[in-house]
Amino acid sequence: MKHVINIAMKSVYVLMPVTIVMAFLWAPPAELLGDYSRIIYFHVPLAWVSVLAFVVSGILSVIFLLDKKNRFSGLDGKSFNSAAIGLAFTVCTVMTGSIWAKLSWGSFWNWDPRETSIVFILLIYIAYFCLQAALAGKSSRGKIGSSYLIVAMATLPFFVFLIPRIVWSLHPETIINVNRTIYMDDQMWITLLTALISFSVLYVYLFNLMNRIMVLKHRIGEHPHAAD
Amino acid sequence: MSLAKKNSAEEGSVLVRDILRNLQKDFRVEFRSRFAVNIAVSFAGIVTISISLTAGGAPFPVKVQSILLWVVLFFSAMNGLAHIFVREEDQGTSLFLRITRSADSIYISKFIFNQIFMMIIGTVVTPLFVFFVGVDVIHVLHFIMSVIAGGFSIAASTTPLAAMAAKAGGKGSLFTIISFPILLPVLWISISSTAGALNEARPESGTVIFLLAFSGFITAISILLFRFIWLEN
């Protein structure tokens, strides 16, 4: 089973180049934005992985708080790692989103509800790392950090689904076609789905890597001369 | 009456009794020094008068009036909302509370205290601001509802975060850093809702509903999580 998971994770070495080739060479350009529309194959998967990473960190936090018998070790550290990956992906989402905004709307930042929401999410998770830093060395660090992550996860639906619907938005049903509706042909859909799968596998790969580093650091901390 | 029903009724009455005792203690301690209320109301008064003085009677656009009102309300409240938990940690009474009272009763009493505190701030600041800045409120009921719902959301969202900040050593800047991102949507929607009450067009009630829904949701999650924040093991 472990062997299968390892192979699945290593598929990222194939999936990512395939996604890049498909996004730039195979998928046709959209009618209105032309080649600029190719950013969708990176922006949407980055945003998806950001939310996925934050939800995983929230779920791990719930399990950490409910796990009174300590059956799963290092869950608070794992939720921290997932939040860190989520934060990095959110920064990339903001960057690709602002490039797309410049191409579509003429300026990098417009305070559109979706742009605003992603900034809120970014700030919430930056605040989480500030809280973790302030709690360094305290026994309550894991519990308080996990509680904050759950509160943060609980606010995600408000930012992702609710705010863009109650505040007027520039964010179109994607301005990539003349009639300003979502229309993607089969090649575009396949490329987007491949990108979503590739970035999700990349997340799993990074998450696993960070967890392994965390375990190694912990072991070195316990046995500082083990490597000698 | 069955034994299970009797036990749950007894637990309920103990919870209510503990909440009332905590509230009584908190109000006594607060009004002995009146530290939080004095600071918040003084801050609000000074800022409002400064805005009015520097504007020199020049009228602000509706959006600016609404932004300024919420900036004053937000920073006035920030001075006092964390105080309720920080004080327990500073004075070393949190350990006593942990031993003698249930986490639920502590959370509910602190939540009620913060709501009352926020209401006091809103009641003092809003008329003062309307008077000095010369705000022309067109939809009075919507304006009042916006201030109440916004204040309720601020107090509801900051109560669990105040407990976290207090546990982290009660550093004042930390409380602002961790609560500001959670409060940003509340402020954003409150500003938009208040601006709606100052415009001639009929305001939308969706903003007030969002604020109430957000605070209800955060409160429900906070009640579930508080025992993990409050109890050491």
Instruction: Tell me the pLDDT tens digit for each residue of B85-125.
Output: 888 887 778 788 888 888 888 899 999 999 998 898 889 88
Q: For position B170, what pLDDT does the model report?
A: 56
Distance from the A116 Cα atom to the nearest Cα atom in chain B, whole angstroms: 9
Question: Which of A65, A148, A155 is opposite residue B164, by nearest beta carbon?
Answer: A148
Q: Does B171 touch chain A (CB under 8 A)?
A: yes
Sequence-ordered list of residues with C-beta below 8 angstroms from that of B81, at least 6 positions apart, any chain: B114, B117, B118, B154, B155, B158, B159, B162, B175, B179
The per-residue pLDDT of chain B, averaged, comes to 84
Question: Inter-chain contact A131–B178, Cβ cutoff 8 Å?
Answer: yes
Question: Which of B181, B188, B232 is opposite residue A127, by nearest beta carbon?
Answer: B181
Q: Among candidates B60, B36, B218, which has minimal Cα distance to A148? A: B218
CA dist., res. B204 & res. B64, Å (int): 19
Residue from B63, B107, B157, B178 to probe the interface with A (highest A Cβ count within 10 Å) = B178
Residue with tokens 């032309």: A34
Q: For position A166, what pLDDT does the model report?
A: 65
Report if residue B4 sits inside a domain: no
pLDDT of residue A1 exceeding 80, the answer is: no
Q: DSSP class of residue A22?
A: I
> A41 near A20, Cβ under 8 Å?
no
Q: For position B205, what pLDDT does the model report?
A: 76
Sequence-ordered list of residues with C-beta below 8 angstroms from that of A27, at least 6 positions apart, any chain: A38, A41, A187, A188, A191
Q: What is the pLDDT of residues B38-90, one digit of tens each?
A: 888 888 888 888 888 887 777 788 888 899 999 988 888 887 777 788 888 87
Q: What is the pLDDT of residues A67-83, one digit of tens each?
A: 877 788 788 889 999 99
More confident residue, B110 or B199: B110
Question: Which of A65, A123, A154 is opposite residue B217, by nearest beta carbon?
Answer: A154
Number of alpha carbons in the 13 Å side-chain half-sphere of residue A47: 20
Terminal CA-CA length for chain B: 36
Dihedral of alpha carbons A24, A29, A32, A37, sign: negative
Least trusted range by pLDDT, from A143-157, A162-176, B28-42:
A162-176
Report if residue B2 sits inside a domain: no
Average pLDDT, integer, range A6-30: 85
Q: Does B139 touch chain A (CB under 8 A)?
A: no
How much is the ipTM here? Answer: 0.80
Which letter, b or e, does each residue of A161-186 get, where b requires 16 or more Cβ atoms within 10 Å of its Cβ? ebbbebbebebeebbbbeeeeeebee
Question: Which of B168, B180, B232 is opposite residue A139, by nearest beta carbon?
Answer: B232
Q: Does B14 touch chain A (CB under 8 A)?
A: no
CA dist., res. A73 & res. A173, Å (int): 44
Q: Can you say how many angstroms the Cα of residue B86 is from the centroid of all Cα atoms in its chain?
A: 15
Number of domains in chain B: 1
Q: For position A170, what pLDDT does the model report?
A: 54
Q: For position A219, what pLDDT does the model report?
A: 84
Q: For position A227, what pLDDT does the model report?
A: 53
Range of the domain at B131: 10-230
Average pLDDT, integer, range B9-28: 82
Q: Among candidates B160, B156, B165, which has minimal Cα distance to B225? A: B160
More confident residue, B56 or B2: B56
| CA-based nearest residue in chain A for residue B192 | A167
Give B98: exposed, middle or buried? Use CB within 10 Å, 0-12, 13-18, 19+: middle
Cα distances from B184 to residues A31, B74, B147, in angstroms, run 37, 10, 15
pLDDT of residue A27 exceeding 70, the answer is: yes
Q: Can you say how many angstroms the Cα of residue B32 is from the centroid of all Cα atoms in its chain?
A: 21
Q: What is the pLDDT of residues B131-173, one digit of tens each?
A: 888 888 888 898 999 999 999 999 998 898 888 888 877 566 7
Average pLDDT, integer, range A169-179: 53
Token reading at A65: 């708080």
Report if residue B174 sits inside a domain: yes
Report if residue B58 sits inside a domain: yes
In chain A, residues with a C-beta closer than 8 Å to the C-beta of B214 are 155, 158
Question: Inter-chain contact A123–B229, Cβ cutoff 8 Å?
Answer: no
| CA-based nearest residue in chain A for residue B184 | A120
Which letter, b or e, does each residue of A65-92 get, where b requires 16 or more Cβ atoms within 10 Å of its Cβ? beeeeeeeebbbbbbbbbbbbbbebbeb
**Can you give the residue ranges of every domain in chain A?**
40-216
Q: For position A164, what pLDDT does the model report?
A: 66
Q: For position B43, what pLDDT does the model report?
A: 84
Q: For position A113, what pLDDT does the model report?
A: 78
Average pLDDT, integer, range A203-211: 92
- Backbone region of residue A174 per phi and psi (left: phi > 0; alpha: psi in -120 to 50; beta: other values): left
Question: Inter-chain contact A162–B210, Cβ cutoff 8 Å?
Answer: yes
Distance from the A176 Cα atom to the nearest Cα atom in chain B, whole angstroms: 29
Q: For position A60, what pLDDT does the model report?
A: 93
